[in-house]
């Protein structure tokens, strides 16, 4: 394949071709950088486009302009990057980030699901569906970038849209999944084009008679404060934070506030927090994941689930978050699970190797003990590949 020409008339066609190839390869991501061939991330592995020449910087500039057409892309000048989402000609949704590197533009595109998956299909506990029926409170999904947080939230929002008559407002940057008409009235707002910031949109949403609010990410003190207020005033609020586990998410929310406010914020969180879900996306390197050969590896979700009951609320309010894990370990009947427990489940289901589980665990010894116990008792936990 030859390098993509910079002819403006061919840019939409070439962009469509690249996006179609991403779908055909079953790739999750497409990376475009000047001076190198396009790269695709296929089942977690980054591979270059075969027999392709380097992409000229002028081509990247033209592709970036095509992606950003119709958006206010001023952040590319002020912050050096721009986030957006778009639909390919075949209807597949992509999230993209255009960014500067060494004075030139590069592009990263993430392919989004073309349908809403069930929690079982995602590899998450079905007990999370109970969150969709809550009348109010704060629900947090956390994990590293690329762990599937947006996909999980989209599934929960879709469930609400199909089962509840309510007004659902989403505030996203960018809008990744489009929610069509269902039982709910859904209004989706994009930061940068429909509103100036997450907090501005969240404040405004409280005057729009919402029942459920999705805040794509709470990044700053003002947005966290407003989200807590929204949950306190009878709204169900879903959001994400960057944290590796449930306790880390609690501490992340609290640490943003000045030291003299943190005690009060802990008490507020104890009252409004309903659940935290932490998730990690792992390459399925076990026998079940490699059933179709080493080049067809799928990925699985390892998750941690915390439901806030009175015992957990008391630990949050009193600043004893570290003791939450002991409640989670014994809270299986309530739908709770630690990351170690879920890693052991995935090992027993042959989706990941024990070595992978031990690498991911906070406490490898707990994983070893859990695996040994399940094998001794003949446990046959299931696992779902992505």
CA end-to-end span of the chain: 31
Beta strands in 102-222 (DSSP E): 104-111, 137-142, 167-172, 185-190, 212-215
Confidence of residue 91 (pLDDT cuts 50, 70, 90): confident
d(CA 320, CA 354): 31
Is the per-residue pLDDT at 195 higher than 60?
A: yes
- Classify domain 119-376 at the CATH superfamily level: P-loop containing nucleotide triphosphate hydrolases (3.40.50.300)
Q: Which pLDDT band, with edges at 50, 70 and 90, does 176 fall under?
A: confident
Per-residue confidence (pLDDT) for residue 376, from 0 to 100: 85
Listed range (178-182, 243-247, 289-293, 369-373) with the worst mean pLDDT:
289-293
Q: Do domains 8-111 and 119-376 have the same CATH topology?
A: no
Q: Which of 53-57, 165-169, 215-219, 382-386 has the highest mean pLDDT?
A: 165-169
Break the chain into its structural domains and give their ranges. 8-111, 119-376
Range scoring the smallest mean pLDDT among 8-12, 102-106, 162-166, 369-373? 8-12
> Does residue 4 carry a pLDDT above 60?
no
Residues 6+ apart with CB under 8 A from 261: none
Residues 4, 55 contacting (CB under 8 angstroms): yes
Mean per-residue pLDDT for 166-174? 94
Whether 146 and 240 have beta carbons less than 8 Å apart is answered as: no
Region 298-314 average pLDDT = 95
Domain 8-111 has CATH 3.30.230.10: no
Give how far Cα 158 sits from Cα of 205, 233, 286, 384, 385, Å: 19, 23, 31, 20, 21
pLDDT digit string, tens, across residues 117-129: 999 999 999 999 9
Work out the average pLDDT over 261-268: 96
DSSP state of 298: -
- Check pLDDT > 90 for residue 228: yes
Residue 298 pLDDT grade (very low, low, confident, very high; cuts 50, 70, 90):
confident
User: What is the model's pLDDT at position 169?
Assistant: 97
Would the pLDDT of 222 be above 90?
Answer: yes
Q: What percent of the chain has pLDDT over 90?
A: 73
- pTM for this structure? 0.84
**Three-state secondary-structure class, residue 255:** helix
């Amino acid at each position: 394949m030859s390098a993509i020409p910079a002819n403006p008339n061919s840019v939409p066609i070439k962009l469509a071709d690249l996006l179609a190839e991403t779908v055909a390869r079953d790739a999750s991501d497409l990376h475009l950088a000047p001076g190198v061939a396009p790269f695709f991330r296929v089942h977690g592995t980054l591979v270059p486009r075969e027999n392709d020449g380097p992409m000229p910087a002028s081509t990247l500039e033209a592709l970036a302009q095509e992606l950003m057409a119709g958006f206010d892309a001023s952040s590319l000048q002020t912050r050096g990057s721009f986030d957006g989402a778009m639909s390919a000609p075949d209807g597949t949704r992509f999230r993209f980030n255009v960014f500067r590197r060494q004075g030139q533009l590069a592009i990263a595109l993430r392919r989004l699901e073309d349908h809403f998956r069930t929690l079982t299909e995602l590899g998450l506990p079905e007990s999370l569906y109970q969150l969709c029926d809550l009348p109010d409170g704060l629900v947090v999904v956390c994990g590293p970038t690329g762990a599937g947080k947006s996909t999980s939230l989209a599934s929960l929002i879709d469930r609400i849209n199909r089962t509840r008559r309510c007004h659902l407002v989403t505030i996203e940057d960018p809008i990744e999944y489009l929610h069509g008409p269902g039982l709910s009235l859904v209004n989706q707002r994009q930061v940068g084009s429909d509103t100036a910031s997450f907090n501005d949109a969240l404040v405004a949403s409280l005057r729009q008679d919402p029942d459920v609010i999705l805040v794509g990410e709470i990044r700053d003190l003002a947005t966290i404060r407003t989200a807590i207020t929204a949950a306190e005033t009878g709204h169900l609020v879903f959001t994400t934070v960057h944290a590796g586990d449930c306790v880390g998410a609690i501490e992340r929310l609290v640490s943003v506030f000045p030291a003299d406010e943190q005690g009060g914020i802990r008490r507020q969180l104890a009252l409004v927090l309903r659940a935290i879900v932490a998730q990690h996306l792992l390459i399925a390197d076990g026998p079940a994941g490699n059933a179709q050969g080493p080049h067809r590896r799928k990925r699985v979700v390892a998750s941690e689930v915390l439901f806030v009951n009175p015992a957990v609320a008391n630990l949050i309010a009193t600043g004893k978050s570290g003791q939450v894990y002991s409640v989670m370990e014994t809270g299986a009947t309530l739908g709770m699970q630690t990351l170690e427990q879920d890693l052991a489940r995935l090992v027993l289901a042959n989706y990941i190797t024990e070595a992978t589980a031990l690498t991911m665990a906070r406490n490898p010894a707990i994983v070893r003990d859990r695996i040994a116990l399940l094998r001794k008792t003949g446990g046959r936990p299931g696992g779902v590949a992505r």
